[in-house]
């Protein structure tokens, strides 16, 4: 089977390309500006282009990544299917984490630029007139080789290895995390045979910040503190009924990504 992965240099894209090739598929990974995107059959497309932690400082690039190139692909490209990677961040102001829940955004909030651009991308996928187009809303993906990322778990790992974690949000804050190996397996299945247009790709399980910090402290011997006035952040639980029912999905434990951590951090002499 022929695949095209757009955004193959990112953490999810790299892992997905490796998984597809290991399972016998042919994978095309065009770089930015590659004219082959417009001149060759692309097979099954995974649209993994996106900005995450730095989107607030790069608003125009965020819209270009999440909307502009997608719009051109939907109009011009030759593909069998296209799976657009969105995010469960779009539930940030919602009261339900179901794929069909009404969603609210606030244009005055710079953090909502991300949600607005992802939702515009989703809307193009749903109403652009092309068949075989689906959406995967990814939760907080852990694992892979994104050690330098500014996202929460990679930042914790670096802090633990330095000897001390200082949380900026309360230990009882919660999020849904999904193992990257679950992600790549689900994306392949959704892209080729998904019966719905929109899927939450999440574990369906809420983990507290304390779950991560306590495990890291036990593994590395690091100390843990919380910044004064740290806010409590609790996100709506993500509904995974659709992937559990359709694909028989059972999540890997997200905390298992810490199993390769060193036994302890080096001790610094006084």
Instruction: Look at phi and psi of residue 169 and say left if phi exceeds 0, alpha if psi is from -120 to 50, else beta.
Output: beta
pLDDT digits (tens), the chain, 270 positions: 999 999 999 989 999 999 999 999 999 999 988 999 999 999 999 999 988 767 888 889 999 999 999 999 999 999 999 999 999 999 999 999 999 999 999 999 988 999 999 999 999 999 999 999 999 999 999 987 666 677 888 899 999 989 999 999 999 999 999 999 999 999 999 999 999 999 999 999 999 999 999 999 999 999 999 999 999 998 999 999 999 999 999 999 999 999 876 544 443 332
Q: What is the extent of the structural domain holding 63?
A: 2-145+177-204+237-252
Which pLDDT value is given to residue 90?
Answer: 96
Domain presence at residue 122: yes
The answer to whether residue 58 sits within a structural domain is yes
- Phi and psi based region of residue 215 (left: phi greater than 0; alpha: psi -120 to 50; beta: remaining): alpha
pLDDT at 263: 47
Output the pLDDT for position 144: 74
pLDDT of residue 123: 98
The pLDDT assigned to 259 comes to 82
pLDDT for residue 53: 66
Does residue 172 belong to any structural domain of this protein?
no
Residue of 187, 222, 202 whose CA lies nearest to 27: 187
- Tell me whether residue 158 is in a domain: no
Instruction: Give the pLDDT score at 262.
Output: 54
Tell me which residue of 251, 211, 249, 237 sits closest to 88, measured CA to CA: 237
| Dist CA 211 CA 152 (whole Å) | 13
What's the number of domains the chain is made of? 1
- In a domain? residue 210: no
Quote the Cα angle for 234-235-241, to 5°.
135
Print the SS3 string covering 83-105.
EEEEEHHHHCCCCCCCCCCCCCC
- Tell me the CATH number at 248: 3.40.50.720
Report yes or no on 214 lying in a domain.
Answer: no
Is residue 91 a contact partner of residue 235, using CB atoms and an 8 Å limit? yes
Answer whether residue 269 is part of any domain. Answer: no
Residue 151, domain member (yes or no)? no
Q: What is the pLDDT of residues 44-90, one digit of tens each?
A: 999 999 887 678 888 899 999 999 999 999 999 999 999 999 999 99
């Amino acid at each position: 089977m022929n695949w095209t992965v757009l955004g193959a240099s990112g953490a999810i894209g790299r892992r997905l390309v490796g998984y597809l090739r290991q399972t016998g598929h042919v994978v095309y990974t065009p770089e930015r500006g590659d004219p082959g995107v417009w001149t060759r059959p692309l097979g099954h497309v995974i649209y993994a282009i996106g900005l995450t932690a730095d989107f607030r400082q790069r608003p125009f690039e965020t819209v270009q990544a999440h909307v502009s190139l997608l719009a051109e692909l939907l109009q011009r490209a030759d593909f069998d299917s296209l799976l657009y990677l969105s995010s469960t961040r779009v539930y940030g102001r919602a009261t339900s984490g179901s794929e069909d829940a009404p969603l609210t955004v606030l244009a005055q909030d710079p953090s909502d630029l991300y949600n607005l651009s992802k939702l515009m991308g989703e809307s193009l996928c749903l109403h652009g007139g092309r068949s075989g187009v689906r959406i995967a809303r990814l939760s907080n993906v852990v694992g892979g080789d994104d050690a330098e990322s500014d996202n929460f778990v990679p930042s914790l790992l670096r802090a633990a290895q330095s000897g001390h974690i200082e949380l900026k949000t309360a230990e009882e804050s919660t999020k849904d995390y999904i193992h990257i190996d679950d992600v790549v397996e689900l994306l392949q299945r959704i892209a080729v045979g998904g019966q719905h247009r929109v899927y939450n790709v999440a574990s369906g399980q809420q983990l507290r910040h304390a779950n991560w910090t306590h495990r890291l402290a036990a593994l590395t011997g690091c100390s843990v503190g919380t910044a004064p006035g740290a806010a409590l952040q609790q996100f709506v639980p993500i509904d995974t009924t659709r992937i559990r029912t359709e694909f028989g999905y059972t999540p890997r434990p997200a905390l298992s990504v810490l199993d390769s951590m060193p036994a302890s951090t080096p001790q610094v002499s006084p």
